[in-house]
């Protein structure tokens, strides 16, 4: 299967940042389905960089959209990996939940572990269980029965934002795995309304501070615009 078109946010000799669309895997799953990695490789080949093998240093769920970083240089990849895994890199997401989110700002500090009853799911675990997980949430706007949230990851556990918001009773719109009917299923055709919008990091080769962000994600709905971030 051919690779999809690629929206490149940033690229140099060391790494590349791409804006992943919904429904696309970052890595191959053995089925031959086209992936974001395929799209990055095709982009590099079209630019004459045939021998470069892109390595994704971040993962997004298949239905989550937004920024994914790829290392293009084995010599600097360990430093990029360390930045992604550490707490110095700022990672900002936008999420839409059904209903009126009651907190202006909230830090969710709840360990996350595997759901023993469903291998697909993670869960907010009790004290002493799971791995430490912390998410910062700020309410941006409420319109049409939905709330737009700005979400910052302090840690990076699997499904962290989805699990933490669902644990408060506000699953992300379109999240059938964690929300069911509470996730505004009447409009579920929009998909999962979670987008990796911006990242701040130090360049892995030069140390230069970089601020990366995607275009405003129109898939979150016509009710929202960049003015809501102010």
For residue 65, give the nearest of 200, 192, 229, 183 by alpha carbon.
192
For residue 173, give the nearest of 182, 183, 163, 181 by alpha carbon.
183
Between vectors from CA 179 to CA 173 and to CA 180, what angle results, nearest 5°? 100
Residue 38: Cβ-neighbour burial (10 angstroms; 0-12, 13-18, 19+): buried
- Catalytic entry in 19, 61, 175, 184: 61
User: Is 61 a catalytic site residue?
Assistant: yes
The residues assigned a catalytic role are: 61
């Amino acid at each position: 299967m051919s690779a999809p078109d690629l929206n490149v946010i940033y690229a140099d000799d060391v790494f590349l940042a791409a804006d992943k669309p919904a429904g696309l895997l970052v890595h191959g799953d053995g089925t031959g389905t086209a992936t974001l990695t395929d799209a990055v490789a095709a982009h590099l080949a079209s630019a004459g960089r045939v021998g470069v093998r892109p390595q994704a240093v971040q993962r997004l769920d298949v239905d989550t959209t937004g920024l994914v970083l790829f290392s293009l240089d084995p010599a600097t990849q360990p430093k990029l990996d360390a930045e992604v895994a550490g707490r110095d890199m700022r990672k900002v997401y936008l999420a839409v939940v059904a209903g009126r989110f009651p907190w202006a700002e909230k830090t969710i500090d709840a360990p996350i572990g595997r759901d023993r009853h469903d291998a697909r799911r993670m869960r907010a675990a009790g004290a002493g269980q799971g791995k430490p997980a912390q998410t910062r949430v700020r309410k941006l706007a409420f319109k049409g029965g939905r709330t737009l949230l700005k979400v910052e990851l302090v840690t990076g556990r699997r499904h962290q934002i989805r699990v933490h918001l669902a644990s408060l009773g506000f699953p992300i719109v379109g999240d059938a795995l964690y929300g069911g009917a509470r996730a505004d299923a009447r409009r579920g055709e929009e998909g999962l309304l979670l987008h990796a919008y911006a990242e701040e990091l130090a360049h892995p080769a030069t140390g230069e501070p970089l601020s990366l962000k995607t275009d405003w994600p129109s898939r979150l709905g016509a009710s929202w615009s960049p003015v809501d971030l102010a």
